[in-house]
Amino acid sequence: MRHQIDFNAMLKQAWKDRDSLLCVGLDPDPAKLPVSLTSGGGALFSFCREIVDATADLVCAFKPQIAYFAAQRAEDQLEQLIHHIHDAHPGIPVILDAKRGDIGATAEQYAREAFERYGADAVTLSPYMGSDSIEPYMKWQGRSLILLCRTSNPGGSDLQFLESGGEPLYQKVARLAAGQWNASGQIGLIVGATFPEEIAKVRQIVGDMPLLIPGIGAQGGDVKATVEAGRTADGTGMIINSSRAILYAGNNGDFAKAAREAAIKTRDEINRWR
């Protein structure tokens, strides 16, 4: 059993110690891995471990995406990777990007998978089945539940802008997440960098709640607009994720060095506007 986990405390300390709001998403695509890693087993773990070790002092969190491992029958490598992050880089929280959404006993099993099998400090969830789809996760004290709110994809507007009680549905989700759903203080929200005006509206609703913000880098989100919209009074409050632009900055034997250089550039660009 690991030490007592408090995601919010770990995140705040990482923001301070590393002077960084950058999160590196770990989405290992076998088709994009360096040839030197694909000749044997364990390539996904080996690739991600190199990226982690090259960037750990530059980030406030890592975010492995479960589908990239499960599709390759490599869940054991995901377990190995999260254990490596905790052991080699203690204090950096790990967000398991799973976007689960179910109720009752099934939700409890998903929570057990995320927090016990993989040892994640936080997990992404879809809240659109309501409060009883997130309550089972709250049994794991100190773990965070990061809920989809205003997503970075264009199709998110199909549902997230539907009117609910006189406001768009994504704002209703933000209000519930910051209020009656968040008795334990464990909740954060996902708001895409592609919609800075909506980031600002969510920040106004939720106060200092952590916001996981995908969409910079390969998805084209504007860093300046994102930071100015989402920062809290102390210049933190955000977990700004970049995946492909860092993971695949280089494609040869120097891929980890190239990833580090891309991470430094991204971190510094974020910090310029804090």
Question: At a CB cut-off of 8 Å and minimum separation 6, what does 31 contact?
Answer: none
Integer Cα distance of 100 and 179 in angstroms: 21
Q: Identify whether the C-beta of residue 248 lies closer than 8 Å to the C-beta of residue 242.
A: no
Integer Cα distance of 264 and 93 in angstroms: 19
3-state secondary structure 160-225: HCCEECCEEHHHHHHHHHHCCCCCCCCEEEEECCCCHHHHHHHHHHHCCCCEEECCEHHHCECHHH
Integer Cα distance of 94 and 80 in angstroms: 13
Integer Cα distance of 112 and 88 in angstroms: 24
Query: Active-site residues: which are they?
Result: 99
Q: Identify whether the C-beta of residue 138 lies closer than 8 Å to the C-beta of residue 145.
A: yes
Two structure tokens written together for 67: 């589908």
Integer Cα distance of 45 and 240 in angstroms: 23
